[in-house]
Amino acid sequence: MIADLLFPMSPGILLALGGLLVPFIGARVARIYVLALPAVLLAYIFMLPDGSHGAISFLGFELELLRIDNLSRIFATIFMIAAILGNLYAWHEEDPVQRTAAQVYAGSAIAAALAGDMISLFVFWELTAISSVFLIWASGTDSAFRSGMRYLIIQVGSGVILLTGLIVHVNATGSIAFDHLGLDAPGAPLILLAFGIKCAFPLLHNWLQDAYAEATVTGTVVLSAFTTKLAVYTLARGFAGTEMLIWIGAAMTAFPIFYAVIENDLRRVLAYSLNNQLGFMVVGVGIGSELALNGTAAHAFCHILYKALLFMSMGAVLFRTGTCKGSELGGLYKTMPLTMIFCVVGAASISAFPLFSGFVSKSLIMSASGKEGYWFVWGVLLFASAGVFHHSGIKIPYFAFFAHDSGQRPKEAPVNMLLAMGAAAVLCVGIGVWPEPLYALLPYDVDYVPYTTSHVITQLQLLMFSALAFTVLMLTRIYPPELKSTNLDFDWVYRRLLPRQLLALGRAIDTGYVHVTNVGRTVIGAAISLSAEIFAPGGLYGRMVGTGNAVALVAILLLVALVVSYSAV
């Protein structure tokens, strides 16, 4: 095989190293270079045979930098496709920092997915955090800088927790292999927490909405593809069948719906929607059956495509209008019809319409939950499916392109953006119409037919009733209007409440310190005054004692000494 003639280096490492060359290449050449490099590496992934390659020794451990199996291959494949689409979408960008950061970020995520040991995983895990933050800071605003700092603290903190769990695990077992762990393994709870932070578990999720809405137009598209799906991969690799994840995932699918409905910033709506879709994947990991894990991998694959498509369409709107607020948009279909069409394709895909990609992937997880007897979870997922149609399937295209006419008449998106959106849309429709090539990439053999009469009818009924509910809510003016507002989420606790409490505590400590200091000064002053009165000249002990008094005092002391001596005898 051709792959046998190549140095067995991880495609992710090659992409990251190749990205470091971008600043030394002219802008025109760099545009072509960052498209050609991941395209070649995508072919390289399929040339590599299954098994472990490129092992190296490090501090007495054998690092497995390249492990190829069905699970790692499908994630590496979609990550590389996402890198190609992201680079095409960003063709017009002149900023070498963003272009370099995007390649290093994508390469690090791919290298992490292909790593067979936890030391290598940790290194690439942290590298994804460090490289991706530049896509946020590149916006150049003060709010983007602060958001990037919060993002970096949380992401690096996840790596610190992962390292702690790794140390505990290695000390107890002597093994660094990254295989199935389960909660009973030494250090596993810490490792799960680290994965959960990057997967945006409930109460750990706000970094996602905070950072993605502040990133650059192209940076948000890149960010949407890698960090959270890498976390899904690590959960599938290390914690498949952990029942706790079923309930965590179910909560993830449900609670973002309510925030997405009332959110005005459409990129933040998509960030909440991303959280919702991650929940489906986490449920699949928690169930842990072959059907469920196939569903997790398939849904991650499809989700990267249609979520990138939706972020691309909103990015194009932001690029042309300067805003992504639903309250400031509307009527854009008149001058941005192609962007609108691509947005509708993404909306149909995330809503799992038949003949679109979400239909053939989400149904695997839904079927697995019913097959394993998790009917309550199945009901939650059904509710979440209706909810995502509300906020991403309807709200995003409606308020951006069809709601009240904002009067804006921007140009259509640049050609490179349209090509990237078109390619993603073709993949979304192609997978939905012909899912067999995707199913062939899944970790286990697939014995599943998505297009059955009952499944299609059930899904169409769900979508139609959801659309009817949206229409009724809009006509009756019950549906929350798009308002210029800031919605409070759990991040209010650590962004507002805790700082205020710490400030109040600091003030209380300062007040107490001042009070104690004043009391101390008063006591010391009184002691000094009293000492002066007693020992100063003319004081109680400073007076001159008369000779007669002195003789009398000596006689008394001698008498006492005689009495004591006589008593002792």
pLDDT of residue 539: 58
Give the containing element (helix H, strand E) for 426: helix 415-433
| Separation CA 510–CA 11 (nearest Å) | 56
Asked whether residue 296 carries a pLDDT value surpassing 50, the answer given is yes
The first and second tokens of residue 545, run together, are: 């004692």
| Separation CA 90–CA 222 (nearest Å) | 10
Asked whether residue 430 carries a pLDDT value surpassing 90, the answer given is yes
The mean pLDDT value for 13-25 works out to: 94
pLDDT of residue 535: 58
pLDDT of residue 2: 45
Asked whether residue 551 carries a pLDDT value surpassing 80, the answer given is no
pLDDT of residue 542: 53
pLDDT of residue 481: 66
223 against 561, higher pLDDT: 223
Half-sphere exposure of 71 (CA within 13 A, CB side): 25
pLDDT tens string 240-259: 999 999 999 999 999 888 88
The mean pLDDT value for 439-461 works out to: 91
Please give the single-letter amino acid code of residue 139. Answer: S
| Separation CA 444–CA 46 (nearest Å) | 17
pLDDT of residue 4: 45
pLDDT of residue 500: 83
The mean pLDDT value for 546-569 works out to: 68
pTM for this prediction? 0.87
Asked whether residue 556 carries a pLDDT value surpassing 80, the answer given is no
Asked whether residue 425 carries a pLDDT value surpassing 90, the answer given is yes
pLDDT of residue 480: 67
pLDDT tens string 203-219: 888 899 999 999 999 99
| Separation CA 111–CA 131 (nearest Å) | 14
221 against 545, higher pLDDT: 221
Asked whether residue 547 carries a pLDDT value surpassing 80, the answer given is no
Residue 373, Cβ density class (10 Å: 0-12 exposed, 13-18 middle, ≥19 buried): exposed
The mean pLDDT value for 539-565 works out to: 65
Map residue 177 onto helix, strand or coil: strand
Q: Which of 46-60, 122-136, 339-353, 436-450 has the lowest mean pLDDT?
A: 46-60
| Separation CA 297–CA 302 (nearest Å) | 9
| Separation CA 365–CA 393 (nearest Å) | 20
User: Residue 161 — very low, low, confident or very high, per pLDDT cuts 50/70/90?
Assistant: very high
pLDDT of residue 568: 60
Map residue 424 onto helix, strand or coil: helix
User: Residue 81 — very low, low, confident or very high, per pLDDT cuts 50/70/90?
Assistant: very high
| Separation CA 424–CA 472 (nearest Å) | 32
Please give the single-letter amino acid code of residue 75. Answer: F
pLDDT tens string 114-156: 999 999 999 999 999 999 999 999 998 999 999 999 999 999 9
pLDDT of residue 3: 45
pLDDT of residue 536: 60
User: Residue 569 — very low, low, confident or very high, per pLDDT cuts 50/70/90?
Assistant: low
Mean pLDDT for all residues in the chain: 89
Give the containing element (helix H, strand E) for 250: helix 244-262
493 against 395, higher pLDDT: 395
Residue 41 · residue 139 · CB < 8 Å: no
pLDDT tens string 500-545: 888 888 888 888 888 888 888 888 888 777 776 665 666 555 555 5
Percent of the chain whose pLDDT exceeds 70: 91
| Separation CA 401–CA 333 (nearest Å) | 5
Contacts of 545 (CB under 8 A, 6+ apart): 553
What is the DSSP track for 15-39? HHHHHTTGGGS-HHHHHHHHHHHHH
| Separation CA 311–CA 306 (nearest Å) | 9
pLDDT of residue 1: 43
pLDDT of residue 7: 55
What is the DSSP track for 49-110? PSEEEEEEEETTEEEEEEEESHHHHHHHHHHHHHHHHHHHHTTT---HHHHHHHHHHHHHHH
